Structure 1
Amino acid sequence: MNLIRGLHNLKPQQGTVVTIGNFDGVHTGHQKIITRLIEKSKALGIPSVLISFLPTPQSFFNHPQASLNSFKEKHHLLSKLGLDIHLIIHFNQAFSQLEAVDFVQKILLDKLAMKHCLIGDDFRFGKDRVGDFELLQRLSKTNNFSVENTPSVLCDNHRVSSSNIRTYLNQGKLHLATQMLGREFSITGKIIHGLKNGRKIGFPTINLPIKRKISPIHGIFAVTVEIEGKTHQGVCNIGNRPIIGGKKTLLEVFLFDFNRTIYGLQAKTTFKHKIRDEANFDDFETLKQQIKHDVNAAKNYFTNQSQC
């Protein structure tokens, strides 16, 4: 998949099939749209193009929300689906004022030579979000392209959406988030140095930065961590570490039966089961006792899973 950062890097196209959106989480609804996009692309013999925005319109207009994946994670997920082009449009003040009809003409038609457009049923675009499926239909009649609307995907009679997945993760309902994502929720990043407080109380942790402004998941979890192709079990805290007055969200994992120096390596943390919410403690000794309980709870979870 060819990643194009910005319209100024886009070379003239001779015809494309296009879909547009944030695609946060690349969930089963997104996957359905992309699968259909690629089918249409192959049928017409022209490239498939997925357009997303950086920053997201929500962030630009100061309505930030938790992200289900970092940009790097999203691009990795998209690259596995068979797309030809991932076009990133930089969402800035000038772009936010672009009228919907101008977005279609100046970008989709003039730059991408779009022949077919496929969007989700809730997609809106252009200044004041006035662009929608009906506008695309109307414009298609005089501009030699077709448009296709993809209905929502349902999971247990609930609409598959990024917002519903965020809600499930926030509530610790990992099995419901997994069903909508089509995979278990995970966070990937490079292991960094921490404050070494865990080591002082007998629970050394690996630390990963959260590459997003707001994390969709908080608390104490039983997790698996993949490092250099090997999977390890552990207990994870993802939060602000109130005992030290932390402000920044950090992911910390105590791995069972593990004693290696692995700073700088890539680690994928997969969330298996929520144990409890993050809490404050009066001192590190009290925290140490609670971590012992958390470790036992996580180990019991993995033991029960292996017996199923």
Structure 2
Amino acid sequence: MEIFRSLEDIPATLGNSVITIGNFDGVHLGHREIFRTVRKAAEQLRAVSVVVTFVPHPLKVVSAPKKQLRLINTYTEKETLIAASGIDCMLAIPFTESFAALSARAFVEDILVKKLSVALLIIGYDYSFGSNRQGNVSTLLELGREFGFKVRVLEPIGHDGLVYSSSKVRELIQEGDVAGVVPLLGRHFSLGGTVVAGHHRGAGIGFPTANIRTEKELVPASGVYAVKVKIDETIYDGACNIGNNPTFDNDESSIEVFLFDFAGDLYGKELRIYFVTRIRDERRFSGIDELKSAISADVSRCREILAATALMEYREYLERG
């Protein structure tokens, strides 16, 4: 997938395009269906499939407080997931206050028509855009007639009464329901990070943990999770604790993972944690012995759960249709 990070990056030779527009945070199954529709339409029209999105997320620029929204994906993750959906090109428009002031008509004429040569625009039923969200489906249909492109409006996408929604994904992850997001994402929720120095307590009680520093904004609720962890191309089962370690009265929240059947130095390594299910709340223990007993029970339960669980990551998510 070719990525244009500014309007100036778009080549004049791009040709006619089939476009969809959105933030696509989470790249859930609803987004995947939109991308599939765009890709198939582009093949039929012998056009280029294009996803138009924005960096940063518009709510981080025009809302108050601007940093309230926690994104499901990093921008790099979003690019990887969109590329996995078979899209030809992605335009990541730098979203600024001046861009937010652009009128709906100017956005369509200057970007979709003149820059991207849109032949077909595929959007959701409730899509709105432009300064003060003045543009909507009716606006696009009218502009499409004026400038000679077609507009296809998609109804809400879901399954068995469940509408796929980034807001719902975000809500479930914040509650710690990482198993509940799989039917919406089509894959296990994951975060990537670097192993950094921690407090070294785990090794002293027989459960050495890797302390993870991540750029991910959205992290599951505090608690203990059964996880699968990818290091290079090897997958390990493990248990992950997120929280303040109340037994030790830590001031800051941390992400620590204990890998089963692993020996070696992880400091400085990049790894990815895939969250399978939450097994309990984080809690304070009376002392080291009670803590060790609880961790042993956690590990046993995680082993049992993970032995019966196949990892679903974005490759499998793509292959499933």
Letter of the structure 2 residue corresponding to residue 42 of structure 1? E
Q: 1:305 offset after TM fit, Å?
A: 5.9
Tell me what 2:32 maps to.
31
Aligned counterparts of 1:105 and 1:240: Cα–Cα separation in 2: 52
Aligned counterparts of 2:284 and 2:227: Cα–Cα separation in 1: 21
- Whether 1:164 aligns to 2:158 is no
Structure 1's 15 and 93: CA in aligned 2 closer, same or farther, altered over 3 A? Answer: same
Structure 1's 41 and 239: CA in aligned 2 closer, same or farther, altered over 3 A? Answer: farther
- Whether 1:78 aligns to 2:79 is no
Aligned counterparts of 1:180 and 1:89: Cα–Cα separation in 2: 26
Letter of the structure 1 residue corresponding to residue 50 of structure 2? V
Query: What do residues 117-136 of structure 1 show as CA deviations (whole Å, max 9, x unaligned)?
Result: 11122322111112222211
Tell me what 1:155 maps to.
159
Residues 68 and 216, structure 1, Cα contact 8 Å, conserved in 2: no
Query: What do residues 227-276 of structure 1 show as CA deviations (whole Å, max 9, x unaligned)?
Result: 232221110013354545444x5432101222211333332211112112
Query: What do residues 153-180 of structure 1 show as CA deviations (whole Å, max 9, x unaligned)?
Result: 2233121111112222333433431111
Tell me what 2:15 maps to.
14
Aligned counterparts of 2:115 and 2:25: Cα–Cα separation in 1: 25
Moved more, 216-225 or 193-202: 193-202
Letter of the structure 1 residue corresponding to residue 193 of structure 2? G
**Is there any run of 5+ residues in structure 2 with no aligned partner, and where?**
311-321
Tell me what 1:110 maps to.
114
Query: What do residues 10-33 of structure 1 show as CA deviations (whole Å, max 9, x unaligned)?
Result: 223432111111111111100110
- Percentage of identical aligned residues: 34
Moved more, 297-306 or 223-232: 297-306
Q: 1:144 offset after TM fit, Å?
A: 0.7
**Alignment equivalent of 2:101, drawn from 78, 97, 101:** 97
Letter of the structure 2 residue corresponding to residue 163 of structure 1? S
Tell me what 2:209 maps to.
205
Tell me what 1:2 maps to.
2
Tell me what 1:176 maps to.
180
In the TM superposition, 1:256-295 aligns within 5 A as 256-280=260-284, 287-295=291-299
Q: RMSD of the TM alignment (CA)?
A: 2.4
Secondary structure in 2 matching 1:123: coil
Moved more, 273-282 or 147-156: 273-282
Aligned counterparts of 1:209 and 1:55: Cα–Cα separation in 2: 21
Aligned counterparts of 1:214 and 1:241: Cα–Cα separation in 2: 19
Q: 1:303 offset after TM fit, Å?
A: 5.3
Aligned counterparts of 1:191 and 1:27: Cα–Cα separation in 2: 28
- Whether 1:128 aligns to 2:132 is yes
Secondary structure in 1 matching 2:54: strand
Aligned counterparts of 2:178 and 2:203: Cα–Cα separation in 1: 29
Tell me what 2:58 maps to.
57
Residues 155 and 179, structure 1, Cα contact 8 Å, conserved in 2: no
Aligned counterparts of 1:16 and 1:250: Cα–Cα separation in 2: 45
Letter of the structure 1 residue corresponding to residue 59 of structure 2? Q
Residues 196 and 210, structure 2, Cα contact 8 Å, conserved in 1: yes
Residues 208 and 252, structure 1, Cα contact 8 Å, conserved in 2: yes
Aligned counterparts of 1:97 and 1:15: Cα–Cα separation in 2: 27
Structure 1's 114 and 258: CA in aligned 2 closer, same or farther, altered over 3 A? Answer: same
Moved more, 96-105 or 285-294: 285-294
Letter of the structure 1 residue corresponding to residue 127 of structure 2? F
Aligned counterparts of 2:289 and 2:98: Cα–Cα separation in 1: 54
Tell me what 1:251 maps to.
255
Q: 1:2 offset after TM fit, Å?
A: 0.6
Q: How many residues align?
A: 305
Secondary structure in 2 matching 1:202: coil
- TM-score, structure 2 normalization: 0.86
Aligned counterparts of 1:46 and 1:118: Cα–Cα separation in 2: 14
Aligned counterparts of 2:307 and 2:53: Cα–Cα separation in 1: 42
Secondary structure in 2 matching 1:119: strand
Q: 1:283 offset after TM fit, Å?
A: 6.2
Moved more, 113-122 or 214-223: 214-223
Aligned counterparts of 2:150 and 2:220: Cα–Cα separation in 1: 36
Structure 1's 241 and 24: CA in aligned 2 closer, same or farther, altered over 3 A? Answer: farther
Moved more, 156-165 or 290-299: 290-299
